[in-house]
């Protein structure tokens, strides 16, 4: 294995000074690969994403991007370094138009807002024709599925090297969920590294190269996806500490 795109080394983090939500987390994401992260509600999955994205600084341990220590670097700076997050909650501005939402991360970044970015906007509208048709409408007026399309289109426009995708299928119909997973695979084919979190454990294991199980803020199982196949349901119940 070469140098990881993203590497967490013994990261401990939390919101309050005396309560650790994450404890000694070590994991890696490689370029062009999907690392899946599964765990029960409240295990700390979204907290991990917030820690990588700079919304929360690690209390101890370090986060490395291509070997460079990015612990505590602000979210705004991380966009420049090629890190993009599609959060569990919406990141859209509901009263701004679809196109304004798409362009927002590129503003103030002349290199990224040049001709190339405008070319990618055409590409994005080809990939997501519904967004082109509604580009002048307020993002908040779109359906749930279209808002998710807009989140992915916005990420695509930034051409990140690392994309953190937190519960992308939550609240979506099975058909739209399927589309979401196709987009994620497309991102990985474009050589992005992906950290994928989703409650559809079976799907995460199927799509991922590596899988980590997070339980009460600790990684309790980690390995190649093949090791997580087989009698998945039962195994996952055990990994998550559920015994019947
Ligand atoms: N802003 C916050 N301030 C304080 N505590 C928080 C905050 N956000 C989350 N927590 C707590 O941190 C713990 C982990 O929450 P987190 O959202 O990371 O879990 P999760 O694994 O993403 O859960 P879910 O599957 O429900 O999305 C929970 O106990 C939660 O109550
Ligand atoms: Mg979460």
How far is the C-alpha of 244 from the C-alpha of 149, rounded, in Å?
39
Confidence of residue 2 (pLDDT cuts 50, 70, 90): confident
192 alpha carbon to ligand 2 midpoint, in Å? Answer: 22
CA-nearest residue for atom 1, ligand 1, is 15
- Looking at 42-51, 109-118, 130-139, 228-237, which range is the least confident one? 109-118
**How confident is the model over 87-96, as a mean pLDDT?**
94
Taking alpha carbons only, the member of 73, 5, 15 closest to residue 44 is 15
98 pLDDT exceeds 80? yes
Q: Which residues of 77-105 are buried (b: 16+ CB within 10 A; e: fewer)?
A: ebbeebbbbbbbeebbeeeebbbebbbeb
Write down the H helix ranges in 42-128.
Answer: 45-52, 75-80, 98-103, 115-127
**pLDDT, tens digit, 9 for 90 and up, residues 207-240:** 999 999 999 999 998 989 888 877 777 777 776 6
Closest ligand by atom to 50 CA: 1
104 pLDDT exceeds 60? yes
**Which pLDDT belongs to residue 238?**
74
Give yes or no for a contact between 197 and 166, defined as CB atoms under 8 angstroms apart: yes
**Which pLDDT belongs to residue 119?**
78
Taking alpha carbons only, the member of 195, 227, 221 closest to residue 30 is 195
Share of the chain above pLDDT 90, in %: 70
To the question of pTM greater than 0.85 for the whole model, the response is yes
**Ligand 1 contact via 47 beta carbon (within 6 Å):** yes
Q: Classify residue 16 as left (phi > 0), alpha (psi -120 to 50) or beta.
A: beta
Give yes or no for a contact between 212 and 49, defined as CB atoms under 8 angstroms apart: no
Closest ligand by atom to 55 CA: 1
**Ligand 1 contact via 201 beta carbon (within 6 Å):** no
**How confident is the model over 91-114, as a mean pLDDT?**
83
Confidence of residue 111 (pLDDT cuts 50, 70, 90): low
**How confident is the model over 162-178, as a mean pLDDT?**
93
**Ligand 1 contact via 220 beta carbon (within 6 Å):** no
Give yes or no for a contact between 228 and 210, defined as CB atoms under 8 angstroms apart: no
**Ligand 1 contact via 50 beta carbon (within 6 Å):** no
**Which pLDDT belongs to residue 241?**
67
Q: Classify residue 5 as left (phi > 0), alpha (psi -120 to 50) or beta.
A: alpha
How far is the C-alpha of 42 from the C-alpha of 14, rounded, in Å?
12
**How confident is the model over 136-157, as a mean pLDDT?**
94
How far is the C-alpha of 174 from the C-alpha of 90, rounded, in Å?
19
Domain ranges (residues) in the chain: 1-82+161-244, 94-159
**Which pLDDT belongs to residue 208?**
95
- The CATH number assigned to the domain with range 1-82+161-244 reads 3.40.50.300
């Amino acid at each position: 294995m070469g140098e990881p795109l993203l590497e967490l080394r013994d990261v401990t983090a939390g919101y309050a000074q005396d309560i650790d939500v994450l404890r000694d987390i070590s994991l890696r994401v490689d370029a062009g690969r999907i690392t899946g992260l599964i765990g029960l509600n409240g295990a700390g999955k979204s907290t991990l994403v917030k820690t990588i994205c700079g919304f929360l600084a690690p209390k101890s341990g370090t986060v490395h991007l291509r070997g460079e220590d990015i612990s505590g670097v602000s979210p705004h700076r991380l966009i420049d370094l090629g890190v993009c997050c599609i959060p569990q909650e919406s990141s859209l501005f509901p009263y701004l138009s679809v196109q304004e939402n798409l362009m927002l991360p590129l503003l103030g970044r002349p290199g990224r807002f040049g001709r190339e970015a405008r070319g990618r906007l055409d590409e994005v509208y080809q990939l997501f024709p519904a967004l082109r048709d509604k580009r002048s409408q307020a993002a908040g007026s779109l359906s749930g599925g279209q808002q998710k399309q807009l989140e992915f289109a916005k990420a695509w426009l930034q051409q990140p090297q690392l994309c953190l995708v937190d519960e992308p299928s939550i609240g979506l119909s099975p058909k739209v969920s399927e589309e979401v997973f196709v987009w994620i695979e497309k991102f990985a084919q474009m050589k992005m590294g992906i950290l994928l979190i989703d409650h559809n454990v079976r799907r995460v294991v199927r799509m991922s190269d590596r899988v980590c199980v997070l339980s009460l803020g600790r990684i309790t199982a980690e390995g190649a996806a093949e090791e997580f196949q087989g009698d998945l349901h039962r195994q996952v119940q055990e990994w998550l500490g559920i015994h019947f």
